[in-house]
Amino acid sequence: MMMNASVKKGILGLALVIPSFLILFFVVIVPIVYAIRESLIDENGSGFGLANYIRLFTEPTMRKNIIYTLNVTIVSTLLSLVISYSLAVYLRFGHGWVVKWINRLYFIPMFVPGVIATYGLITMYGNHGWLSRLLLLIGIDTFPKIIYDYNGLVLANLWFNIPFATMLLSSALAAVPNSVIESARDAGANIGQLFFRFVLPLSYKTMWVAITFIFMGVIGSFTAPFLIGANSPQVLGVAMQQVFSNYQETHTASAMAVLMFLLCSVMGYFYIRTMGKEG
């Protein structure tokens, strides 16, 4: 008995989907399930419980690391968004040679490897870096601590995330019709009204995309925090590596990984909810 066309299409569709599903299952779902299981195992391995999660929120060092991570992530995300949005608006509605040069140069940091960029920040803003030497030449012998501190992490996050967010937002703003802006200006709308009533609503969806990717990238970062971050407190990525490698506390490290996944999931939930409303 020959199969009809719809059955053949269904089988072909499954054949195309199954490889992707298997990759997703073994690369993403299985490690998540394994990490959750490991995080629930007691320290002595005798049973399951929430002891590892309780430790994260009751032990002072762990609690400081969580608060520090959230602080760095939220501040870096907000600063990156504000600067990127301002830059994208300027590139969209500005004119002149400055706009042309910024358009050519702003995305260059995206092609610089993270290790090289971090090394560049060290040689530029370190206590004996280029900037401190230049200030010394003009008689300024005091230089604020930037590297190996909270400020250095925020600065590194801005370097990594502003070009990407600006590219996303510039694409969204490029789709804003000039006729809409010109009509609003003719009707007497000021700059604030133009932004909040026309520009922001038309780029709102892309803005949430940028926020989501920045948040997840910062909260899961490792290279820059490991190289220029403070010894204490530490972001969760570095702290997790220390707990896993130096102290061999696999179950606690798994609990930290699950916590990071949950934080990203919360951000993903609001993103999906917002996109659903927009649709």
Task: Judge whether 15 lies within some domain.
Answer: no
What average pLDDT does the segment 118-123 reach? 89
What's the CA gap between 102 and 257, in Å, rounded?
Answer: 38
| pLDDT band at residue 278 using 50, 70 and 90 as cut-offs | low
Q: Looking at the predicted structure, is the pLDDT value of residue 29 above 90?
A: no
pLDDT > 70 in the chain, percent: 96
What average pLDDT does the segment 202-214 reach? 89
Q: Looking at the predicted structure, is the pLDDT value of residue 5 above 80?
A: no
Longest Cα pair distance anywhere in the chain, in angstroms?
Answer: 92
Predicted pLDDT at 273: 80
Task: Judge whether 250 lies within some domain.
Answer: yes
What average pLDDT does the segment 266-279 reach? 75
Q: Looking at the predicted structure, is the pLDDT value of residue 12 above 50?
A: yes
Q: Looking at the predicted structure, is the pLDDT value of residue 230 above 90?
A: no
Per-chain mean pLDDT for the chain: 86
Query: Are the beta carbons of 84 and 165 closer than 8 angstroms?
Result: yes
What average pLDDT does the segment 195-204 reach? 84
Task: Judge whether 7 lies within some domain.
Answer: no
What's the CA gap between 270 and 226, in Å, rounded?
Answer: 29
More reliable by pLDDT, 133 or 257: 257
Task: Judge whether 71 lies within some domain.
Answer: yes
What average pLDDT does the segment 55-66 reach? 92
Predicted pLDDT at 1: 46
Taking only the tens place, the pLDDT of each residue in 74-118 is: 999 999 999 999 999 999 888 888 888 988 888 888 888 888 999
Task: Judge whether 18 lies within some domain.
Answer: no
Predicted pLDDT at 164: 92
Q: Looking at the predicted structure, is the pLDDT value of residue 129 above 90?
A: no
Task: Judge whether 32 lies within some domain.
Answer: no
Task: Judge whether 175 lies within some domain.
Answer: yes
Q: How many domains does the chain have?
A: 1
Give the CA dihedral 190, 196, 202, 208, nearest 10 degrees.
Answer: 150
CATH number assigned to the domain comprising residue 134: 1.10.3720.10
Q: Looking at the predicted structure, is the pLDDT value of residue 277 above 70?
A: no
Q: 190 lies in which domain range?
A: 60-278
Task: Judge whether 69 lies within some domain.
Answer: yes
Helices (H), ranges, the chain? 5-24, 30-39, 51-58, 60-93, 97-105, 114-125, 130-137, 150-174, 178-186, 191-194, 200-219, 223-228, 236-245, 250-278
Tokens for 165, please give them: 């967010």
